[in-house]
Amino acid sequence: MIWRKFNGDTIELPITQAVETAIKREVERGFRLKVCIGTDSQVKGIETEFATVIVFLREGHGGFMFIHNDKTKQKFSIKERMLVEVAKSIEIAYELCDLFTVYDVDMEVHADINTNPHFKSNDALKEAMGYILGMGFAFKAKPEAFASSSCANKVVN
C-alpha cells in the first residue's frame, strides 16, 4: 500500500512507522494531536477511485495528512460504495489504533455519509455507524466528517 504526503512526496516507511514517527515529532514539538481517518470515492466511467486519508490535527495549530489512493473496476451500488469507504477507513484505523493508545492520541473514523435522509448515501448510515462503533472507534458523519467529505474528497482524482 503506497502512502504519500499532501505535497506528493511518497512515504517510504511502512504506514505504522510513518505515523509513529509523525506522532513522536509532533509531541516533541509540544502539540496535542487528534487523528481523523476517512475515505471518499468517485466513480469515473468503469472505474471507482478511493482516497483514504489520515488527518493529523495539531490542537490550535493546523494539521497535515497522509494519503492513499486505489482504483477498482468493480461496480457498486451507492450503499455498497459507502460501506467500502467505511471498511477502508476501519482497516487503517485498526492497523494504527494500538499506536494511538500508546501515545494517548484521540482518533475518529469519518464516514462520507449524509445524516439527512433525503440523500442517497443515508441508506448506509445505520450499517456504517454500527460497523465503526462496533469496532470501538469514535464515529462522525456529514457534516462533521471533514476527513472524508473534505480532505479525502480533495485527493480523489
Domain ranges of the chain: 3-155
Separation CA 110–CA 102 (nearest Å) = 22
What's residue 89's pLDDT? Answer: 97
pLDDT of residue 122: 84
Contact residues for 129 (Cβ-Cβ < 8 A; gap 6+): 111, 139, 141
For 14-45, letters b (16+ CB in 10 Å) and e give ebeebbbebbeebeeeebebbbbbbbbbeeee
Query: Residue 115 has what pLDDT?
Result: 87
Question: Rounded to whole angstroms, what are the CA distances from 42 to 60, 136, 144?
Answer: 31, 28, 20
Q: pLDDT tens digits, residue range 126-148?
A: 899 999 999 999 999 999 999 99
Check residue 118 and give its pLDDT: 87
d(C-alpha 83, C-alpha 152), whole Å: 15
User: What stretches in the chain show pLDDT beneath 70?
Assistant: 157
- C-alpha cell read off for 91: 482497516
Q: What is the pLDDT of residue 114?
A: 87
- pLDDT at res. 117: 85
d(CA 13, CA 145): 27
C-alpha cell at 152: 479525502
